[in-house]
Amino acid sequence: MAALRVALDATPLLGTPTGVGTFVAGALAELARRDDLDLRAYALSLRGRTDLPARVPMNVAAVTRPMPAAALLRAWSMSDVPPASWFTGPVDVVHGTNFVAPPNGRRGTVVTVHDLTPLRFPQLAGPRTAAFPTLVRRAVARGALVHTPSTFVAGEVVDLLGVDAGRVVAVHHGVPTVEAGGRSPVRGPYVLALGTVEPRKDLPSLVRAFDALAAVHPDLSLVVAGPDGWGADAFAAAVAAAHHRGRVRRFGWVSPAEKAALLRGASAYAYPSRYEGFGFPPLEAMAVGVPVVATTAGALPEVLGNGALLVPPDDAEALAEALEQVLTDEPVRRGLVERGRRRVGEFDWGRCAAGLADLYRRAAG
């Protein structure tokens, strides 16, 4: 049987890595190992497309024709032109990995919806992401199947976008490998948070929780690593208002090796998100034996299971109490580490790729 020709949006592999980029890198590496798929990768980019061949596996053809993102998104939100084939050549399936799927004529289409922040929490969505629901609806109207990283998001797609449940398929991501890493640059015990500083991550609540802990843990620090996103001023204001602001360490974007060192040296990992479609960072912490405190927001209970202590979102007091327990109660800490490692083992990029390949075959009809 001939291999299925699939064009996959690899734009998230360009520029500063994000959670979507982590998904694309992990899934694409395993999809490229399969002999039942003939893969090509494209990028919605004018300048960055020339970097694409170096970012994808060697046996994946990189499409380097210019695909101006802004103009194409406007066109695809209103019409079915230009088709994907103008850029990728004829393919059996187009996979839009980040909310945007080009029209593919009578052929198959899959679009990944990572979460529905613009609809569920519009006040937490940036201007670019506000257009995503319209683009997803357009893709579904053209016949696309929807992939989500969790059953939670699958339910959101059905409830908020009105997509027939039979056309929505949840396939969990794998977990990125955490590098060996060197010695952490932070001395002494610290609570760690990783990721873009934006309102959805609710880092101001973490600062307030840490301020309460710092009063009784004089050696404890809070370390926040990741680039500033929109709305980062709220985090800066929370730090400025904290009594123990001198013990809040702020790192910007960190390399994979620096991130690994920070993870492996942490006493606890905090993930106070207000809404989440999957959640890579707490799984990475669990993978290296760091106990995790997260919220019950979105897909986190589904993904983290009993491998983390879960507290309500927007509750700095509950967050502080859970972190205190992790830092001082050795049986609780040890249990979280053991259960966390087991939980991480349930997420595998090979299984993710197999689920996506099944979805491609279904889309191709």
Residues 255 and 332 in one domain: yes
Q: Is residue 119 part of a domain?
A: yes
* Token reading at 271: 């993930």
pLDDT at 32: 98
Neighbours of 171 (CB within 10 A): 20
Residues 284 and 360 in one domain: no
CATH code of the domain in which 118 resides: 3.40.50.2000
- Helix-then-strand count for the chain, H and E: 15, 13
Residues 147 and 278 in one domain: no
Omega before 83 cis (within 30°)?
no
Residues 161 and 40 in one domain: yes
pTM of the model as a whole: 0.95
Residues 229 and 119 in one domain: no
CA angle 364-58-148, nearest 5°?
40
Q: Is residue 185 part of a domain?
A: no
Q: Is residue 40 part of a domain?
A: yes
Q: From CA 245, how far away is CA 266, in angstroms rounded?
A: 19
Residue 125 predicted with pLDDT over 80: no
Residues 237 and 285 in one domain: yes
Contacts of 159-162 with CB under 8 Å at 24 or more apart are 160/116, 160/119, 160/120, 160/133, 161/116, 161/119, 161/133, 161/136, 161/137
Residue 1 predicted with pLDDT over 80: no
Domain that holds residue 263: 190-344
Residues 256 and 138 in one domain: no
| 235 bridge partner residues | none
Residues 222 and 145 in one domain: no
Q: Is residue 262 part of a domain?
A: yes
Q: Is residue 179 part of a domain?
A: no
Contact assessment for residue 257 and residue 177, using Cβ atoms and an 8 Å cutoff:
no
Residue whose pair of structure tokens reads 């993870």 in the numeric block: 263
Contact assessment for residue 261 and residue 225, using Cβ atoms and an 8 Å cutoff:
no
Contact assessment for residue 56 and residue 323, using Cβ atoms and an 8 Å cutoff:
no
Structurally, how many domains does the chain consist of? 2
pLDDT at 162: 96
Residues 163 and 26 in one domain: yes
Residues 332 and 284 in one domain: yes
Residues 249-282 have pLDDT tens digits of 999 999 999 999 999 999 999 999 999 999 999 9
Residues 202-247 have pLDDT tens digits of 999 999 999 999 999 999 999 999 999 888 999 999 999 999 999 9
Residues 45 and 165 in one domain: yes
Q: Is residue 156 part of a domain?
A: yes
When the pLDDT of each residue in the chain is averaged and rounded to a whole number, the result is: 95
Q: Is residue 121 part of a domain?
A: yes
pLDDT at 126: 67
Q: Tell me the pLDDT band of 135, cut-offs 50, 70 and 90.
A: very high
Q: Is residue 292 part of a domain?
A: yes
Q: From CA 301, how far away is CA 298, in angstroms rounded?
A: 8
Residues 82 and 199 in one domain: no
